[in-house]
Structure 1
Amino acid sequence: MTDDKMLRLHLAERLAASGHLRTAPWRVAVETVTRHEYLRGGFFDRVDGPGPTAWRPVMPDDPRWLARCYEDDSLVTQIAGTIVPRDIHGTIMRAPTSSRTMPSLVVRMLEDLCVEDGHRVQEIGSGYSTGLLSARLGDHLVTSKEVDRDVSVSTSVALGTGGYFPELVVGDGLAGHPDSAPYDRTIATCGVLDLPYAWVEQTKPGGFILATLCGWLYSSELARLTVGDDGTARGPFLGGQISFMLARPHLPPELGTLPDLDAADEQPTEIGAAVLDDWNTRFVAQLAAPRAQRFSLERNGRTEHVLLDVAAGAWAALAQDDRGAWTVRQGGPARLWDDIAAYVTRWRGDGAPALDRFEVTVTPAGQSVSWSKV
């Protein structure tokens, strides 16, 4: 038995033991598809230390490479939109823009997609998951769209090595691929702020759409929507604090020049910035301000927690006084923190339901999220 075959079997065993791998057909796929072929270009390992996060390349000639490919870990394959491991000697301190998702998350999502033999699947974002879908369903039933041409090419090579030749398309996945529609299932391996209505149009009535809904406060949840005969889609969050890199058109803008944070009077607030440390509360806050970004500043001897919606020009700056009470200053065309506090207060008044009691609805007019009282 080859080293990689043994690693695939061990990976399948670990994923089954953790409860992510639940059915025999997907287990066969995990035991068959060679994940390391999707990482032939190497990956970046995080370098822990003080200061900004640094990344160093790990290439196939590194003795750690093969075993790392079969660990249950997301492996960064691109930095800053264009930089790949072969470009770097030493370390780099820029933000990751592409990765091979951890196998447990990939498999959990594929299980949650509830495919059946003969289903045609549209995938947004190409990679290891494309190979698993091809192994499970047959490559003739898989269409995968990837925004990054280099990622699509490397995925195509890896798929071909395994004998899989699904339809691979380069372009904006948010538009889907209508040429091969309709699909029984649509799955996205990237996060989105709003689920595109194009995916609803391209998925058959009764079909599922599986996608991770996010905001720029970086709380996100996996949703499974069922497409209705009326051209809408709705469904619940599945729980588990799923996190993906955002689709590139949904990435937040640069903060740019900050507004004058002293241009408003300080007011008391019963809800302080500390509530945003909780995943569920932060998700609720995002519903009120999905395009607000959060950061901290040290000013005047205290920490200020700032939220800024660059496009709207709205901002809020929160801090604690000497007694630990929270205050807020707000500016711009909207009262950003007032909107967040109102949402959080209403959610708490309904019993602070867990996110699996929320429902997402997508219509031609847009997306809405609601919750059920406890």
Structure 2
Amino acid sequence: MTEPDIDTVAAKLRHQLAEQLAATGWLRSPAWRAAVEAVPRHEFVPRFYVETDAPGLTTWVPVTPELVGLDKWLRQAYADETLITQFDGCEIDWADPQPISNAHPTSSSTLPTLVVRMLEDLQVEDDMTVMELGTGTGYSTALMCHRLGADRVLSVETDPEVASRARDALTSCGYRPRLRVGDGLLGADGSAPSDRTIATMGVRSIPAAWVRQTRPGGLIVATLRGWMRSLGLVRLTVEDEHTAHGRFLSSDPSFMIARQQDAPESLGMLPSSDEGTTRHTRYGPELLTKPDSGFVAQLALPHARSFSMPGDDGTMSTYVLDARNDAFAVLTPDGEGWSVRQGGPVLLWDAVEQALALWHAAGPAEFGLTVTPDAQRVWLGAPGGPSWRLPA
């Protein structure tokens, strides 16, 4: 008895993936389901890395047909997982791929759940045009080509090697969208404004070019993020070439941050043990990683980063540092609570506590974003409510 050929197995796996995505509630429309069932994701990820669950340093292992066998590679290609295709902006040596640790993923095929969620949230109609920022492997580009027609899809990728592989994969699958290599934060100057704009990279604020290059009444779907965590998925309606507004759809989704906006390598100077003033605080460092309070803390600390390390006596402290101005906050266990030592031109932990107080006082309320020529503000409840300015 002969083994089923790769196309037959892949078609079955695509159907199973579509069933799984529909069951989650994110894949809702027949047109996007047809795209998921038609586009061969394995063609866009012939080789990739997946994260292991081993303790210690985060480690990724290579997956290719030669290393794990055709069947396992194919099933992994259609798993609802993010598949990493590049680290630290460098090409992978696929002649001798090895496990990778202590690295920073810089290109991937995003987990299909998030891909289809964003495409559904884009609210496209048959005759619309889409500008995509971040071609990546080209898989999401192909889904849009299948849904709308390749001539209605424009995609921009900053990395020439990544763009070249995506072009080859798209062409081999019969899709020929308009592809550009360039800085995605600048959009695609010279093209007519798009009806919809979608970004598959995280940004600290919405680039002005995206607003300008989306027609009035059009939508922008993107993920905002900071240097500590993601702020989540936002959908904006464009009012004019300088103004847009909308609400956050979720605080969960996250993309790799745009390379041009990545955090500086230096975390800043560690404060000496006698710097700053110390007081009790009701909040410990766990609030920085919780979904809701972490979102609020990121708004309050747009330029900060945090990490933990033991002191001379072995006590673990959490440092929150702002490399721009050397402001710091150090959180240390204090009996059953916490103490915070702060210093610098801005009292970082005071800013977090004030933001949390505003959030708690508002009760159940959604967050939104308003983009104007002068500033971008995330607001709570309504545009006139408490707000925090995003970094330019």
1:60-99 aligned within 5 A: 60-61=65-66, 62-63=68-69, 64-84=72-92, 86=94, 88-93=96-101, 94-99=103-108
Distance (whole Å) between structure 1 residues aligned to residue 229 and residue 267 of structure 2: 20
State which drifts further: 195-204 or 8-17: 8-17
- Conserved in 1, the CA contact under 8 Å of 2:220 and 2:235? yes
* 1:292 alignment counterpart: 304
Distance 1:4 1:230, change over 3 A: closer
Residue type of the partner of 1:21?
L
- Which TM-score applies when normalising by structure 1? 0.94
* 2:290 alignment counterpart: 278
- Conserved in 1, the CA contact under 8 Å of 2:278 and 2:341? yes
* 1:198 alignment counterpart: 209
- Conserved in 2, the CA contact under 8 Å of 1:216 and 1:293? yes
Distance (whole Å) between structure 1 residues aligned to residue 270 and residue 301 of structure 2: 18
- Residue of structure 2 aligned with 1:269, choices 248, 265, 281: 281
Is 2:64 the partner of 1:52?
no
* 2:390 alignment counterpart: none
Distance 1:80 1:230, change over 3 A: closer
- Which TM-score applies when normalising by structure 2? 0.90
Residue type of the partner of 1:69?
A
Amino-acid identity (%): 46
* 2:355 alignment counterpart: 343
Distance (whole Å) between structure 1 residues aligned to residue 107 and residue 56 of structure 2: 22
Q: Which runs of 5+ in 2 are unaligned?
A: 1-6, 386-392
- Residue 296 of structure 1: SS of its match in structure 2? strand
Distance (whole Å) between structure 1 residues aligned to residue 33 and residue 289 of structure 2: 36
- Conserved in 2, the CA contact under 8 Å of 1:294 and 1:305? yes
Distance (whole Å) between structure 2 residues aligned to residue 11 and residue 230 of structure 1: 39
* 1:101 alignment counterpart: 110
* 1:144 alignment counterpart: 155
* 2:41 alignment counterpart: 35
Distance (whole Å) between structure 2 residues aligned to residue 7 and residue 98 of structure 1: 24
Distance (whole Å) between structure 2 residues aligned to residue 220 and residue 229 of structure 1: 25
- Residue 237 of structure 1: SS of its match in structure 2? strand
1:189-268 aligned within 5 A: 189-229=200-240, 231-239=242-250, 241-256=252-267, 258-262=269-273, 263-268=275-280
**Aligned positions, number:** 369
State which drifts further: 126-135 or 334-343: 334-343
- Conserved in 2, the CA contact under 8 Å of 1:314 and 1:331? yes
- RMSD of the TM alignment (CA)? 1.8
* 1:169 alignment counterpart: 180
Distance (whole Å) between structure 2 residues aligned to residue 264 and residue 314 of structure 1: 10
Deviation at 1:184, TM superposition (A): 0.3
Q: Which runs of 5+ in 1 are unaligned?
A: none
- Conserved in 2, the CA contact under 8 Å of 1:288 and 1:339? yes
Q: Deviations over 1:52-92 (max 9, x none)?
A: 11222112323221111001111111112104261653322
- Residue of structure 2 aligned with 1:301, choices 306, 314, 326: 314
- Conserved in 2, the CA contact under 8 Å of 1:193 and 1:213? yes
- Conserved in 2, the CA contact under 8 Å of 1:43 and 1:85? no
State which drifts further: 290-299 or 260-269: 260-269
- Residue of structure 2 aligned with 1:158, choices 161, 169, 180: 169
- Conserved in 2, the CA contact under 8 Å of 1:194 and 1:367? yes
Distance (whole Å) between structure 2 residues aligned to residue 142 and residue 30 of structure 1: 17
* 2:341 alignment counterpart: 329
* 2:388 alignment counterpart: none
